[in-house]
A and B are shown apart, each in its own frame.
Chain A
Amino acid sequence: MVDLNDAIDKLAVTEPRLARVVECRFFGGLSEEETAEVLEVTARTVQRDWAKARMLLRRALSP
């Protein structure tokens, strides 16, 4: 099992924006809309990024 933080760091190397979405949504507890505002992208982009980030993190975390 790998630490989630490591996985997020990995994500930040390859996909910095996805990692920021995770930071806002997961660590910050921001909603999709709030995240979109912070990152200055559309809510739709946040939604898509969040889905992709979860997939990548799950893969990074699985043994």
Chain B
Amino acid sequence: MSDSEPRQSSSDFGSLLADRWLQLSPLVDAVLDAPRDRRSSVLTEVSGGDAQLRDEIERLVDECERAVPMLDRPAAEGFSHLLVADPDAAIPEMLGGRYRIEREVGRGGMARVYLARDLKHSRSVAVKVIRPDLARSLGRERFLREIEIAARLRHPNIVPVYDSGDTGGALYFVMPYEEGPSLRERLRVGPGMSSGECVSVLRDVARALAYAHEHGVVHRDVKPDNVMLSSGAAVVTDFGIAKAIAAAAGGDETPRPGSDSVPIVGTQPDSRRAITQTGVGIGTPAYMAPEQAVGDLTTDHRADIYSFGCLAYELFAGHPPFHNLPLREMISAHVGTAPVPLAAVSAAVPESVSRLVARCLEKKPAARPQRAQELLTELDAAQTTGPNAAIRRPRPLPRAVLVTPVIAGFALIGYVATRDRTTSLAKAPHEVTMAALPVVSDPVQARERPARTVNPEAYRLYVLGQRALTMRQQRMQASVERFRRATELDTLYADAFSGLSLALALAPYFEPITTRQVAGPVRAAAERALRLDSTLAPPHVALGMVHQYAYHWDSAAAELQTAIRLRKPDDIEPLVQYGRYMLHQGRAADALQQFLIARRTEPASALVSSWVAFTYLLQGQMDGALVESERAFQNDSTNYTTLQLGATVRVRRGDFAGARDLVDRLSPYDSRTLWTLAVIGDTATALQRLRELERRRPTPWLSRTTRSFVMLAMGDTTAAMAALERATDANELWPAFPGVLDPIYDPIRSSARFHALLRRVNLPLSDAIVGPRPVPR
């Protein structure tokens, strides 16, 4: 990654620099490991008489043993995401003597949403309870007063606020229970919307804004998540809530918007400081007006007009004007970068709409349409004249900005920031405008983690699935089952879908299931995972593997490269699979490079060491192969791939007894088991098992490859070729495991019939693949 330099500094721990920590860590370990009465002497010992160093270590050790209340209960029991969260503030069963809480239906940045029964009116309602830690910092009366104002709104395009209250420590408001879908969900999963539908939605939103603004209420968080689609109309929800929270947090003494507008020129340092102190900036970065982004207190209803512009932009372009950027840079772009004109990114947009959106997105509020009514007038004109072709939208959206809310429709206000695991840390603050960034260190800032779950059982299953995946011990079925159950428990659990896609993709190596059978399910799981979190790497690995199964090597390479770009620092799977891809292509040196990066990442991985060893073997480096194979066994002597590849290394070394010992721990019918038995001279057992395998009906998956391997080991190349051709007909895995460089194929490597087969599976007839083998050293 190009920006590894700044990442270094942003990975520091407060004043403790990351590099320094890595130096001190072993010393801290030594002290932590010492019995208490020996600590003092161990401290002296490890600090080598350096008093300053001794103090530093002692302080760290002390801190290690101090409790961190936030972490001392599992996330699922408390508020998982915020330091200031108070896990003790439970939600009562009844609120205001009137609302019986039935279940939690969603969780957003600032509130939890419950489905409740309104006992007074015998109806279902949504009760949104402000996060207790946030509620504590709010002026409650001010909040309720603001909500009160919003509650007066009565308009067909506005979801009304029925009630609000402050009882039992909970600050809440009550709305009709809308099942949605939200516009966000519609954008994410539905078919493309026609230009006419888009304009129709925009008109509804504009109507809502016009009405609310006339009544002195601004929204401050206009975005697709807050637009619900119900029976043909768009209704805007959470009107005035963001404003109420901002106001109640103090500092917001803005003249009631709509009454008249305060001209804004530039930003005002004092206002910024006020915002910083109160720590409240409200909005969602992708849709936030520049003045809102810098925390300008004079922000008024024209910020809604800007957000409306972003929303309109997204409807036609498939993404808001600035996207695919880390939080700071996105905010910076709102403040200082002109958006790419809508007409340039979407052909279907009516020209009048494109012009209108450009005006809404003006940086200076005074340059935007000044009244929402004006939007309506323009849109009315567009609807009668515009083209009506369906809008083709790019998919998947490149980064998490657009896949933020776990609970679309109920995702409340607050910064729902990009969760960009690998890159956002690396970004340096963005000059100039960044001085005005109170929002970044904002306690109200909430981050959704679509990849994670708040369901402990789903997480447990995920972890178990992941473990089975890593171990590769013919446990892919277990892995698949666990991931599957995790996705059933939490249908928005991106990581579980991601794991599922990978486990399914690996299954044909380990289970009696064919590559053709898994292809569809892999794609479904991978695409689902990417829709939930487009930053995940494993689904790309899974898709890459499916391409390999169809012998589409170029597409496979593209997916695997994407996976490598997206991978989390400790995720070795993309490297392993890309390395294996290189082996299929006959590029052992390139493969080795990937495997070695993986080994550096995860030095204790048996899987990685096995591939390193095997690659050394292919390069003729027998000593390296042996050393590395030993290492693999030390890491995990039960890993299936380690046993398979280890057996081949031993065969090449002439250690037949050792090879036999290993394959005895594999499945008795594994193709490598039977090849090994045959090649070390136990052809009777190999043939016997081969016959047993082939007697089964339907013809077992990989049995053709197995026959071919046994025939190759016995020197019957004609029979071997015939079997290999049948294996190809059945899309068996022979070109993919462990790849055509495998010494197994040496007896047929130069045969024209084998070359024809290579062409069939789209592999290059390179020297590396069809030429002479490297001489073992």
Residues of A within 8 A of B (CB): 1-6, 9-17, 19-20, 22, 24-30, 38, 40, 44, 48, 51-52, 54-63
Contact (Cβ within 8 A) A16 B16: no
Contact (Cβ within 8 A) A9 B425: yes
A-chain residues with CB within 8 Å of residue B84 when the two chains form the complex: 1
Instruction: Please provide the chain B residues from 714 to 751 with a CB less than 8 Å away from any CB of chain A in the complex.
Output: none
For B425, give its contact among A6, A24, A38, A54 (CB under 8 Å).
A6
A-chain residues with CB within 8 Å of residue B489 when the two chains form the complex: none
Contact (Cβ within 8 A) B447 A3: yes
A–B Cβ pairs within 8 angstroms, 30 of them? A1-B279, A2-B83, A3-B447, A11-B13, A12-B421, A12-B570, A13-B7, A13-B11, A14-B13, A14-B21, A22-B71, A24-B463, A25-B71, A26-B74, A27-B80, A27-B459, A28-B74, A28-B463, A29-B460, A30-B460, A44-B33, A51-B32, A51-B64, A51-B65, A52-B28, A54-B68, A57-B71, A58-B66, A60-B13, A63-B441
Q: Identify the interface centre among B13, B25, B459, B636: most chain A CB within 10 Å of its CB.
A: B13
B-chain residues with CB within 8 Å of residue A51 when the two chains form the complex: 32, 64-65
User: How many A-B pairs fall under 8 Å by CB?
Assistant: 129
Contact (Cβ within 8 A) A30 B463: yes
Residues of B within 8 A of A (CB): 7, 10-16, 18, 21-22, 25, 28-29, 32-33, 60, 63-68, 70-71, 74-77, 80-84, 279, 419, 421, 425, 441-443, 445-447, 449, 452, 456, 459-460, 463-464, 467, 568-570, 601, 636
For B81, give its contact among A5, A9, A11, A17 (CB under 8 Å).
A5
Q: Identify the interface centre among B75, B441, B445: most chain A CB within 10 Å of its CB.
A: B75
List 9 A-B pairs, minimum CB-CB distance, nearest first: A29-B74, A16-B570, A59-B14, A51-B64, A59-B13, A13-B11, A55-B63, A55-B64, A14-B18
For A27, give its contact among B14, B452, B570 (CB under 8 Å).
B452
Q: Identify the interface centre among A9, A12, A13, A57: most chain B CB within 10 Å of its CB.
A: A13
A-chain residues with CB within 8 Å of residue B13 when the two chains form the complex: 10-11, 14, 56-57, 59-60
> How many whole Å from A18's CB to the nearest CB in chain B?
9
Q: Which residue of A lies closest to B466 (CB)?
A: A38
Complex Cα–Cα for A24 and B71 (A) = 12
Contact (Cβ within 8 A) B74 A27: yes
Knowing A13-B11, A28-B74, A29-B459, the reply to whether A56 touches B568 (Cβ < 8 A) is: no
> How many whole Å from A6's CB to the nearest CB in chain B?
7
For A4, give its contact among B25, B67, B82 (CB under 8 Å).
B82
Complex Cα–Cα for A11 and B71 (A) = 14
For B83, give its contact among A1, A14, A55 (CB under 8 Å).
A1
B-chain residues with CB within 8 Å of residue A48 when the two chains form the complex: 29, 32-33
B-chain residues with CB within 8 Å of residue A52 when the two chains form the complex: 25, 28-29, 32, 64
Contact (Cβ within 8 A) B64 A38: no
Contact (Cβ within 8 A) A9 B68: no
Knowing A4-B81, A12-B570, the reply to whether A58 touches B32 (Cβ < 8 A) is: no
A-chain residues with CB within 8 Å of residue B75 when the two chains form the complex: 26-27, 29
Contact (Cβ within 8 A) A3 B64: no
A-chain residues with CB within 8 Å of residue B80 when the two chains form the complex: 4, 26-27
Contact (Cβ within 8 A) A1 B441: yes
Q: Identify the interface centre among B28, B29, B68: most chain A CB within 10 Å of its CB.
A: B68
Contact (Cβ within 8 A) B18 A3: no
Q: Identify the interface centre among B22, B71, B456, B570: most chain A CB within 10 Å of its CB.
A: B71
B-chain residues with CB within 8 Å of residue A44 when the two chains form the complex: 33
Knowing A10-B425, A51-B64, A60-B13, the reply to whether A16 touches B459 (Cβ < 8 A) is: no
> How many whole Å from B75's CB to the nearest CB in chain A?
5
A-chain residues with CB within 8 Å of residue B22 when the two chains form the complex: 14
Contact (Cβ within 8 A) A29 B29: no
A-chain residues with CB within 8 Å of residue B83 when the two chains form the complex: 1-4, 61
Complex Cα–Cα for A59 and B83 (A) = 12
B-chain residues with CB within 8 Å of residue A15 when the two chains form the complex: 21, 25
Complex Cα–Cα for A10 and B8 (A) = 9
For A29, give its contact among B76, B441, B452 (CB under 8 Å).
B76
